[in-house]
Each structure stands twice: as C-alpha cells, then as structure tokens.
Amino acid sequence: MPGWLTAEMLTRLRSGPWFASLSPALAEALLDAAYLKRLQGGETLFMRGAPADGLYAVLEGSLRISGMTVDGKEAILSIVEAPQWLGEIALFDGMPRTHDVVAEAPSRLLHVPRLALEALLAREPVWWRDMGRLMAMKVRLAFIGMEDLSLYPAEVRLARRLLLLVQSSVMDPSGRPPVLPLSQTQLGMMLSLSRQTTNQILQGLQQQGILQVAYGRIEVRDLSRLAEVAELDGMDRGLMAQVLPGNPEYQAKP
C-alpha cells in the first residue's frame, strides 16, 4: 500500500460498494499501482477528447462532470465526491474522454495510470469483470436519470437527483445532516430546469423543513421526507442500496 494513503482515505474508499466488493488481491493491486493527484478548485482533471490516462477515485473534495457546446453552453451531468470512481469507460473502448471534469473544490484523487491498469488486467483477465461491474453501475444510474426526465414532474425529479447525490457521497460519521456542495444553478443545469423553477422547488422544500439552502450548498435535513417527495418505490430503494454508498436510512422502508 502506498505511503501517502492514510487510514482515513482507505476507510473512505472501502465505504464505496464497488471497491468494497473487490477481492483483496485486486484491491491491493490497484492501491499499489496508484498515485496521489491533487487539484485546486477550478483546475481541470481532463477535457472531452483527451486521451485516456487511467482510473480515478475521489478521496477528498468534489469534481464537476459536464459537457459544453461550441457556443459555451454547459450541461452538468453530475457532481462527484468521495468515494466515487471515474474514468472506466475509456478503459473498455480505448477512445478519448467523453466529458470535461473540473475540480469544484480543492481535491485529492487516487490515480491508477492506464498502462499499470492494463498490465494488471492482462495478468489477471478475470478482473475485467470487476471493471465491467463499475461501468454497469454507471449505466444503471444513467438509465434512471433518463427515465426520471421522461416520467416525473420537476419537483420529483429534483428530489430524486438530490437523493442520488446524497447517496453517492460519504456520510458524516457524526450523524449531522448531509451537505451537498452544490449551487441552485448547478442543480438546475443537471435537470434542464430554469434557475427560477429550481429556486421555487428548493424554497418549497425548505419551507417544509426538508432542506436548508444556502449559497453554494444544500443541506438535506430530512432524508425520509425527501424520499417521499421523490416517490421512490421498493425497486428504487434496493438499487440505490446496492450501487451507491451513503446513508441507508430511507432505503429500508417499504
């Protein structure tokens, strides 16, 4: 295990379902091949069209995954926090990066370089299945997002996205309410909602005591009631429990 990887970082990685499910041999091999990468807020990790350079895991901070048109209009796909992994798509097809990834805040990342990763997989081809599972988790979540866009009104879609973001991040061990480092504008861009519509929904949820909205942050004060607004069914809860880390408080309810 590399000397820069602290016990706290390792615990954070193991809180994610994908890394926690790996065999000890694969987990150790990934860590042994990894380097620490630091980014300042606003610094780019990679841009769309860049050559693939390996696999990353967020240890601290957060990353914004987005795409941009030639006239500068940005669409935010997600805000990624610890202990999420990214960069696996290019591992399979060998093609350039699909989106821009920029640090939202000072961040520390675990980076497994492409050549080292390919050497590991050539040595133990059975480990490809684990890489496939990582990508399959992302595909499932992408399908959920597409379905939400087609089936649900704006308030339900917003609540479902907030739950996904909460569940994707490391929960505070003290039990304090989860805080998303996310602005209203960014949340609206993820859902193709205007700032006005996004603000109206958030203010309504805040008045109900479900959220507390501040500049650049959204605090989720009542996960159970947010799940009610999101209209999660049993299948939704089960899927989120399996593919995402975080607080299972609202997942066990029928």
Q: How many domains does the chain have?
A: 2
pLDDT of residue 247: 47
Residues in the chain: 254
Same domain, 109 and 171: no
Do 31 and 123 belong to one domain? yes
pTM over cut 0.85: no
- Whichever domain contains 13, its CATH number is 2.60.120.10
pLDDT tens digits for range 146-194: 888 888 999 999 999 998 888 766 555 555 678 888 889 999 988 989 9
Q: What's the rounded Cα separation, in Å, for the pair 231 and 159? A: 9
Residue 85 has pLDDT above 80, yes or no: yes
Contact 65, 107 (CB under 8 A): no
Mean pLDDT check: name the lowest of 23-37, 76-90, 172-186.
172-186
The answer to whether residues 118 and 179 belong to one domain is no
Percent residues over pLDDT 70 in the chain = 88
Q: Is residue 121 part of a domain?
A: yes
For residues 12 and 127, membership in a common domain is answered with yes
pLDDT of residue 76: 87
Task: Indicate whether 249 belongs to any domain.
Answer: no
What CA–CA distance (Å, rounded) separates 252 from 249? 7
pLDDT at 22 over 90: yes
Q: Which of 141, 175, 209 is the last residue of a domain?
A: 141
Same domain, 20 and 133: yes
pLDDT band (50, 70, 90) for residue 17 = confident
Cβ atoms within 10 Å of 106's Cβ, excluding its own: 14
Task: Count CB atoms within 10 A of the CB of residue 247.
Answer: 17
The parent domain of residue 159 ranges over 153-243
Nearest to 62 by CA among 99, 107, 5, 100: 107
Q: Which of 81, 106, 141 is the last residue of a domain?
A: 141
Q: Is the domain of 220 the same as that of 167?
A: yes
- Summarize pLDDT for 196-228 with one digit per residue, the tens: 999 999 999 999 999 999 988 999 999 889 989
Domain C-terminal end among 141, 172, 188:
141
In whole angstroms, what is the distance from residue 13 CA to residue 187 CA? 26
- Domain co-membership, 58 together with 130: yes
